[in-house]
Structure 1
């Protein structure tokens, strides 16, 4: 490329032809049902663990601290295994079939959870639903990015996170009224529905062109863009991108086009998990019990789920308007403030609570002593809302940026020739980190209280701010081919949105 040539050029229109997105939206909807199941299964332990740790639980299923830690964390271990499986399946059978394959471990896992008569069935069922989550996490964002055009890729790229959050909210809401075994039965429904709908959806045009099936790719692209869309320009760009790719050897990984996007994607997935989002979601109700929140924990969890859904909807709306980096900055700052406040609050809160104050109900309410007791009680009630309020802020901040954007950027920046394997690697690193953190979380809280993990999450939020400032490129409004060209040049750039151009420096 000539040194004076702009790195990324914008096209005014998509091939100058009319685009109809109805087919694209239908394909995305079918795919993200897997993410709904992912969000549902991720937080399944939140309402279930208090019941299984209760003295009233079935003796064969009753859990102590160590067993509860495994029940919460083994899901992440399964997700890591699913990510490894997706590394092979994405390129072997394609993105769509990889997503469909996830329905098998998901359904079997829910059947084991629903019919469990021993602890091993609970743990195996939780592990298998994690495997399904890892497979969908590695495949769905890549599938969506490859069938979408750049005008809507940001919004559609956030759909996996939106539907995952909606799945979590559904679990919290059902957990208020539905027994835990029936929660597992309900979880199998979206997996089966996803399998049925995806049967009628197309494969990725990029996948088809890479297999040399040009006519099929053109037919699929016209179905995704509408019958009046001129497919030639987009197909030519995709084919050129594929032609410029060569078989990747280990020696090739030292070139910027490969190692830069892979490092960015892997580190972002690592930092995303180190913020503490998975243990917070997995142990949400037990955390609220430990924090002495003045509202019943199961209702707190439902409130957090609703706020999380609202925040990812905002992020989806702003994704292509505000840009990825701006949302990541906002997300990091909100999580930093929330985790720091929670660390301070948990450090100053006595846990377990001290002895109850004397009963003054028989005293004259006008006496100074009783006024003091009333004032102290009101202070305790207000303090009891701090964990809920700032947990909501933490979740809101995460869902505004580091939740959806890490998935989207992974699918945008990874080169096509390594996208399947590298996305599986990212998911594996992410969920191995989540497993270690989630398993250690319970023991840290039992030994030191909530203060230590919250303080660690605060430090990670600072690292997120720095990494976004130094390493993360702005990819909003760029096609996948343009993003690949940017990494191929090895030159830095800044984006001037008002001028819709990139200024090299």
Structure 2
């Protein structure tokens, strides 16, 4: 498996490089998302930048406002994507990202801190709506899944940096580190090309050919068939400007939208943002005996290592298999965490001999999430829609993802406080169980298929109908 990946990388390193540079911003947003885990305990101590300790409700707003800000991202990217291109939108996402780090650095009251979280959320929402789309448009079919997994890999590296730096740095030190890393985003994204599809869509065919030559490492003659295919697809699909009604104009579009919206919401309803935002707090609440800071670092390392494995398996095992197996795994281990917390916090049983169980379950949770439930929805968003509706669909899926994430991150701690942390984990387990049933029964397989083949499958069309006997 590794030898196959190495051979693919050698042949397609230009595409891997472009996907990595485009995904670098997700490292910065990952760091802003993980920032709350080490910072919230700091805000309760003497080195807090705030004049007073925030209440439980105020801390919930600090965590959830980033997710609420994520709703702004699709509202910005969808109207602009047809006019200025994918590359410029990816570059623009650094504006609210840097503004968020600046506001967090000078914050001396809660409103300023709230504003910083909203800015980070806006940047994150823009990247979630645009980077997977960009990668899907520059990648060849055979490596599209592997390249799309880079987005989540860089996010997890950002989380690990926040978890690793936070316990050993002051509030301002961690915030300054995030701001410095974000400064590199503009020069990195300046190096990425515009997608061949967008250039062809704008009639800039010579530029599209040059970009294809660079990305594929081939001659002009060798990429001409791919460019001709793009031009023919644009003529066929874009007889008129895309409209929101196009999303339900065909059976395939409706099916794709339902699948991708559900899986994007499942990504959040599996509890990933809750766990990542409040990791240190949760490790203490479920009774694990390892220090919270050490536990978060372990979790971050697991995320990054698993993210490195994802590109190796996503095009080998397929999207459907990864989704139903990982959803089932999340269901089982979230349920076990809930059982442990019930015995520890409600029945007050002696669980010291098995105190390793919560951390072990969370580690396995991260492995399963990073292999399937995390990356697969965004891979499918880039694969399942016709080019005419792809950007609209990406924006809607991203919007619904962040809406579900805001509701859950805002009220998770309230549920835990009112009904017990075990109840909150069982709700997450139920959501993942529904995802397992959906993935096992209704999710089609798109591995290795071209965009046209995926559309034929969604619309129940047969490419090569059997001859009729006379």
Find 1:127's aligned residue among 111, 118, 128: 118
**Which residue in 2 is equivalent to 1:427?**
398
Find 2:234's aligned residue among 211, 231, 242: 242
Local SS of the residue matching 1:477: coil
How far apart are the structure 2 equivalents of 1:502 and 1:327? 30
The alignment status of 1:451 with 2:422, answered yes or no, reads yes
The structural deviation recorded for 1:47 is 0.6
CA contact (8 A) 2:344 2:351 kept: no
CA contact (8 A) 1:85 1:424 kept: no
How far apart are the structure 1 equivalents of 2:186 and 2:124? 14
**Which residue in 2 is equivalent to 1:196?**
187
The structural deviation recorded for 1:389 is 0.9
How far apart are the structure 2 equivalents of 1:63 and 1:249? 45
- Tell which deviates more after alignment, 104-113 or 229-238: 229-238
- Deviation by residue 1:365-391 (Cα, 9 ceiling, x = unmatched): xxxxxxxxxxx9xx6433322111111
How far apart are the structure 1 equivalents of 2:336 and 2:11? 47
CA contact (8 A) 1:77 1:130 kept: yes
**Which residue in 1 is equivalent to 2:308?**
313
How far apart are the structure 2 equivalents of 1:402 and 1:394? 10
Counting only pairs closer than 5 Å after superposition, residues 92-491 of structure 1 correspond to structure 2 as 92-228=83-219, 230-246=222-238, 247=240, 248-249=242-243, 252=246, 253-350=248-345, 380-487=351-458, 489-491=459-461
1:190–1:471: structure 2 CA closer, same or farther, 3 Å change rule? farther
1:381–1:348: structure 2 CA closer, same or farther, 3 Å change rule? closer
Local SS of the residue matching 2:168: coil
Local SS of the residue matching 2:169: coil
Larger RCO of the pair (alpha carbons < 8 Å, separation 6+): 1
The structural deviation recorded for 1:102 is 0.5
- Deviation by residue 1:161-190 (Cα, 9 ceiling, x = unmatched): 111111111111111212122211111233
CA contact (8 A) 1:86 1:421 kept: no
How far apart are the structure 2 equivalents of 1:211 and 1:311? 39
How far apart are the structure 2 equivalents of 1:338 and 1:144? 32
1:385–1:484: structure 2 CA closer, same or farther, 3 Å change rule? same
How far apart are the structure 2 equivalents of 1:382 and 1:404? 36
CA contact (8 A) 2:65 2:117 kept: yes
The structural deviation recorded for 1:53 is 2.4
The structural deviation recorded for 1:251 is 5.1
1:159–1:56: structure 2 CA closer, same or farther, 3 Å change rule? closer
The structural deviation recorded for 1:215 is 0.9
**Which residue in 2 is equivalent to 1:4?**
none
CA contact (8 A) 1:340 1:454 kept: yes
1:103–1:197: structure 2 CA closer, same or farther, 3 Å change rule? same
CA contact (8 A) 1:279 1:441 kept: yes
How far apart are the structure 2 equivalents of 1:20 and 1:58? 50
TM-score by length of 2: 0.92
TM-score by length of 1: 0.85
Local SS of the residue matching 2:334: helix
How far apart are the structure 2 equivalents of 1:461 and 1:58? 38
Point out where structure 1 has 5 or more consecutive residues left out of the alignment: 1-18, 355-375, 494-500
How far apart are the structure 2 equivalents of 1:315 and 1:418? 27
How far apart are the structure 2 equivalents of 1:154 and 1:307? 21
Rg larger in 1 or in 2?
A: 1
The structural deviation recorded for 1:144 is 0.5
Point out where structure 2 has 5 or more consecutive residues left out of the alignment: 1-9
- Tell which deviates more after alignment, 42-51 or 58-67: 58-67
**Which residue in 1 is equivalent to 2:15?**
24
- Tell which deviates more after alignment, 140-149 or 290-299: 290-299
How far apart are the structure 2 equivalents of 1:58 and 1:32? 31
The structural deviation recorded for 1:36 is 0.8
Q: How many pairs are equivalent?
A: 454
Local SS of the residue matching 1:349: helix
**Which residue in 1 is equivalent to 2:30?**
39
The structural deviation recorded for 1:20 is 4.2
1:61–1:404: structure 2 CA closer, same or farther, 3 Å change rule? farther
1:42–1:58: structure 2 CA closer, same or farther, 3 Å change rule? closer
Q: Larger helix proportion, structure 1 or 2?
A: 2
CA contact (8 A) 1:237 1:481 kept: no
